């Protein structure tokens, strides 16, 4: 199917989902909602829970003409039924710092739950939630939708007969851009590794389908370049060398996978992108539904038939290493950034220097956000204002 959310109303064996809760009021929830709506039966109801975006959500739904959506600003203690609607699945798309608490609340009520990446920022918490889902006997998954991108599947099939020694991934975004009529920026309030690494992990796993369990076996190197904001990661993934470059400060969007130093290349910077194998270039084409629709469908299937969970690629059990490795790499990154920040404390901050501004924004913006202070930081002037605020509150000299 060519559209993101074209699909039949969702049911299995005549049993349909009749109430789905969606948590979160940001840009991504507005992407998710029409896809979910397109997958459900017309009689099903979506309960959209957004603490800070209630009024905007109501206006947006009216503008888009989307029906059978109940908007709630908050939920009472028992959320198994809302406004007379019984909830039998939940999608969590809020700030990552509150993912764990919201997922736990759903699982304790026995509600199958699908969480946007990063699942949690703490591996111990992720493991506890995975165990809770097993105790409650209800599905828990992580939305790593690149697993279902048809062009990734095709690329994996085309290189399946090759001995893979090395995989390089460039996952780079501009700080902000306009897409689909909205100004888009990365989740700058979440650490770079927590935000971007799970997708790269998912791609690495997809290219190693013969492995029963895929995981990062060792972290060889992590480097940070504050002037460009780039993070360089070298890990062993199973028995393959994986080199990953992450950045939110690129000149344009880059999504590139390179196998064995150029033997095969998948570039989906503009989806579905191009594939080059042995010097022969191919134009990729979409097959079937888009990744997000397939990802959500896979969750709904497991929500209706828990027996499918054992073989579900996006189950929390199958994806726990994405959290474990992200936390370990993120810790390595912060161990590099914090001494750099201490140097600035001693020597002073030069506001005109990109490296000084980027370091403070990259390291401290997520920390301030975790404390409830989501400082505006999209434009350069907003970032400068944040840096000046940090200098003032932390008694750092800036000029």
Q: What is the mean pLDDT of residues 173-202?
A: 87
Using the predicted structure, report yes or no on whether residue 297 has a pLDDT greater than 90: yes
Tell me the pLDDT band of 6, cut-offs 50, 70 and 90: very low
Structure pTM?
0.93
Give the model's pLDDT for residue 180: 57
What integer best gives the mean pLDDT of the chain? 91
Confirm whether 262 is domain-assigned.
yes
How many domains, the chain?
A: 1
For residue 7, name the pLDDT band (cuts at 50, 70, 90): very low
Where in the sequence is the domain holding 272, given as residue range(s)?
Answer: 147-283
Q: Identify the band that residue 181 occupies on the pLDDT scale cut at 50, 70 and 90.
A: low
The pLDDT, as a whole number, for residue 10 is: 55
Average pLDDT (175-185) is 72
Cα distance between residue 233 and residue 230, in whole Å: 10
What confidence score (pLDDT) does residue 209 get?
A: 65
- Whether residue 133 contacts residue 327, with contact meaning beta carbons closer than 8 Å, is answered with no
In this structure, is residue 204 part of a structural domain? yes
Q: For residue 167, what pLDDT is reported?
A: 98
Q: Is residue 142 part of a domain?
A: no
pLDDT in tens, 303-360: 999 999 999 999 999 999 999 999 999 999 999 999 999 999 999 999 999 999 999 9
pLDDT at position 78: 58
pLDDT for residue 80: 66
| 373 located within any domain | no
Alpha-carbon separation of residue 198 from 45, 47, 355 (angstroms): 31, 28, 26
**Could you tell me if residue 224 is inside a domain?**
yes
Q: Could you tell me what percent of the chain has a pLDDT over 70?
A: 91
Q: In this predicted structure, what is the pLDDT of residue 82?
A: 65
With a cut of 70, say whether residue 170 has pLDDT above it: yes
Mean pLDDT confidence for 87-99: 94
Residue 258 is part of a domain; what is its CATH number? 3.30.360.10
Q: How many Cβ atoms are within 10 Å of 250's Cβ, its own excluded? A: 19
Residue 16, domain member (yes or no): no
The answer to whether residue 54 is domain-embedded is: no
User: Which of 163-172, 185-194, 198-207 has the lowest average pLDDT?
Assistant: 185-194
For the chain, the three-class secondary structure string (H helix, E strand, C coil) is CCCCCCCCCCEECCEECCEEEEECCCHHHHHHHHHHHHHCCCCCEEEEECCCCHHHHHHHHHHHCCCCEEEECCCCCCCCEECCEECCEEEECCCHHHHHHHHHHHHHCCCCEEEECCCCCCHHHHHHHHHHHHHHCCCEEEECHHHHCHHHHHHHHHCCCCCCCEEEEEEECCCEEEECCEEEECCCCCCHHHHHHHHHHHHHHHCCCCCCCCCEEEEEEEEEECCCCEEEEEEEECCEEEEEEEECCCCCCEEEEEEHHHCEEEECCCCCCEEEECCEEEECCCCCCCHHHHHHHHHHHHHHCHHHHHHCCCEHHHHHHHHHHHHHHHHHHHHHHHHHHHHHHHHCECCCCHHHHHHHHHHHHHHHHHCCCCCCCCCHHHHHHHHHHHHHHCCCCEC
- Does 255 score more than 90 pLDDT? yes
Q: Are 26 and 54 in contact (CB under 8 A)?
A: no
In a domain, 87, yes or no: no
pLDDT-derived band at 8 (thresholds 50, 70, 90) equals very low
376-393 average pLDDT score: 94
**Which pair of structure tokens corresponds to residue 197?**
């690494």
- With tokens 């935000």, the residue in question is 195
The model's pLDDT over 192-226, given as tens digits with 9 standing for 90+, comes to 999 999 999 999 999 986 666 789 999 999 999 99
pLDDT number for residue 268 = 98
């Amino acid at each position: 199917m060519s559209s993101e959310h074209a699909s039949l109303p969702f049911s299995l064996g005549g049993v349909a989902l009749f109430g789905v809760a969606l948590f979160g009021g940001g840009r991504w929830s507005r992407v998710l909602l029409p896809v979910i709506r397109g997958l459900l039966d017309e009689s099903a109801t979506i309960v959209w829970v957004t603490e800070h975006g209630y009024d905007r959500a109501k206006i947006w739904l009216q503008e888009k003409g989307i029906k059978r959506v109940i908007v709630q600003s908050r939920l009472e203690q028992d959320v198994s039924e809302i406004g007379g609607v019984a909830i039998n699945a939940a999608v969590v798309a809020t700030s990552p710092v509150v993912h764990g608490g919201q997922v736990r609340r759903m699982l304790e009520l026995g509600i199958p739950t699908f969480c946007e990446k990063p699942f949690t920022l703490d591996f111990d918490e992720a493991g506890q939630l995975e165990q809770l889902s097993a105790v409650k006997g209800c599905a828990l998954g992580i939305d790593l939708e690149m697993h279902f991108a048809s062009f990734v599947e095709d690329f994996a099939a085309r290189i399946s007969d090759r001995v893979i020694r090395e995989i390089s991934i460039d996952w780079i975004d501009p700080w902000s851009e306009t897409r689909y009529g909205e100004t888009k920026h990365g989740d700058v309030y979440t650490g770079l590794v927590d935000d971007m690494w799970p997708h790269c992990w998912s791609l690495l796993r997809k290219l190693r389908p013969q492995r029963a369990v895929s995981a990062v076996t060792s972290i060889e190197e992590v480097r940070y370049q504050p002037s460009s904001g780039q993070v360089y990661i070298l890990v062993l993934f199973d028995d393959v060398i994986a080199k990953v470059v992450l950045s939110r400060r690129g000149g344009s969007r880059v999504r590139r996978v390179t196998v064995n130093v150029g033997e095969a290349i998948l570039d989906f910077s503009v989806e579905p992108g191009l594939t080059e194998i042995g010097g022969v270039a191919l134009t990729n084409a979409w097959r079937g539904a888009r990744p997000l629709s397939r990802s959500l469908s896979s969750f709904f299937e497991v929500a209706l038939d828990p027996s499918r969970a054992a073989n579900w690629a996006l189950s929390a059990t199958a994806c726990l290493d994405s959290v474990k490795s992200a936390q370990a790499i993120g810790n390595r990154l912060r161990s590099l950034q914090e001494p750099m920040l201490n140097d600035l404390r001693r020597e002073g901050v030069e506001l005109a220097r990109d490296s000084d501004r980027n370091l403070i924004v990259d390291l401290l913006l997520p920390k301030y956000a975790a404390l409830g202070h989501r400082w505006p930081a999209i434009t350069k002037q907003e970032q400068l204002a944040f840096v000046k605020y940090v200098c003032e509150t932390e008694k750092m000299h800036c000029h």
